[in-house]
């Protein structure tokens, strides 16, 4: 067994005490918030942070207030020891903050209410009520504890990324929020901690999600949003092992569904889909 040389904090007070001399010396802090079960996507966020900052902090915390489904929270993979080994293989200079619920919520495990200029009312916001209040609550608290200069988020959760950008601008939080590209398995499946819960066969079958998104991207060049959405819905009807929750085409900035294509706007296709009762999300740039 490898000797663990990494600094792991469980208490925000200990982490703050450790970071405060560096903050006073104006050292730059990069921050990668996660819920653990690390994969290549997380590692790419860490690599960006390590190369752009003096100090890199990663949080590992399965945040209860952003789950609107108790079973999903219960079954969310928790693999701290393995995560630490994965990080150590990359660098032993990463500072880990892995708190218990009590350290974050101090006996009051509820979300604050946030308003993100309507971004919260689309897609994930519609289908996972309260989710973005939970995300806003934890991300704001983590930013207050870590006080990073830069924070790194994956584009797989594109709506979350836009919401976190809105959060820092509305609350004047001095953090640069950096979006990083989606990492995919060789078969195209977007990397996600939830993939751990898929059987080998479902992982193989889930390759079709990215194939259909890529076909939709081609179709959208010449066809309307409505026709492209219909195409995606019909494709998944051919694969009854999938239950499509939504496929939407939205403006990247406002996340509003596209009614009429405009040449200077950026569009993305967003999908949420179930296989083996596990909910996966993905998205693709359509420009």
**In whole angstroms, what is the distance from residue 175 CA to residue 53 CA?**
13
- Region from 104-112, 132-140, 229-237, 247-255 binding ligand PAF, contact rule CB under 6 A: 132-140
**In whole angstroms, what is the distance from residue 111 CA to residue 134 CA?**
5
Closest to ligand PAF by CB, 133 vs 248, is 133
162 is a site residue for ligand PAF (CB under 6 A) = no
- Applying CB under 6 A, among 84, 138, 229, 258 the residue interacting with ligand PAF is 138
Closest to ligand PAF by CB, 66 vs 228, is 66
3-state helix, strand, coil in the chain (%, to 5): 45, 20, 35
**Residue ranges in 232-251 that form contacts with ligand PAF under rule CB under 6 A:** none
Q: Compute the CA torsion angle 214, 218, 224, 230 (nearest 10 deg).
A: -40
Of the residues 39, 42, 127, 183, only one is catalytic, namely 42
**Annotation marks residue 42 as catalytic:** yes
Q: How far is the CB of 135 from ligand PAF (least distance, A)?
A: 5
Closest CA to 190 of 42, 4, 33: 42
From residue 23, alpha-carbon distances to 17, 27, 133, 151 in Å are 10, 6, 29, 15
Query: Per-residue contact track with ligand PAF, 6 to 35, x per CB under 6 A?
Result: ---------------------------xxx
Q: How far is the CB of 221 from ligand PAF (least distance, A)?
A: 31
- Applying CB under 6 A, among 45, 135, 180, 258 the residue interacting with ligand PAF is 135
Tokens of 151: 């924070």
**In whole angstroms, what is the distance from residue 156 CA to residue 280 CA?**
10
Catalytic positions are: 42
């Amino acid at each position: 067994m490898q000797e663990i040389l990494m600094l792991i904090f469980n208490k925000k007070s200990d982490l703050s005490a450790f970071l405060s001399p560096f903050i006073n010396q104006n050292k730059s802090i990069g921050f990668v918030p996660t819920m653990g079960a690390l994969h290549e996507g997380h590692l790419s966020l860490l690599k960006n942070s390590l190369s752009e900052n003096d100090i890199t902090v990663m949080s590992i915390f399965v945040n209860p207030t952003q789950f609107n489904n108790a079973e999903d929270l219960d079954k969310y993979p928790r693999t701290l020891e393995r995560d630490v080994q994965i990080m150590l293989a990359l660098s032993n200079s990463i500072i880990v903050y892995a708190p218990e619920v009590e350290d974050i919520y101090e006996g009051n495990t509820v979300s604050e209410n946030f308003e993100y200029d309507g971004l919260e009312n689309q897609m994930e916001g519609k289908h996972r009520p309260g989710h973005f209040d939970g995300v806003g609550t934890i991300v704001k608290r983590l930013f207050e504890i870590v006080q990073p200069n830069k924070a790194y988020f994956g584009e797989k959760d594109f709506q979350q990324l836009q919401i976190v950008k809105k959060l820092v601008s509305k609350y004047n939080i001095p953090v640069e929020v950096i979006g990083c590209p989606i990492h995919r398995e060789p078969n195209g499946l977007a990397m996600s901690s939830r993939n751990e819960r898929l059987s080998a066969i479902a992982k193989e079958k889930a390759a079709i999600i990215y194939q259909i998104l890529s076909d939709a991207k081609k179709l959208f060049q010449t066809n309307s949003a409505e026709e492209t959405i219909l195409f995606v819905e019909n494709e998944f009807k051919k694969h009854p092992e999938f239950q499509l929750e939504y496929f939407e085409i939205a403006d990247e900035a406002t996340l509003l569904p596209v009614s009429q294509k405009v040449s200077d706007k950026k569009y993305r296709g967003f999908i949420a889909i179930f296989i083996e009762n596990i909910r996966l999300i993905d998205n693709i740039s359509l420009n």
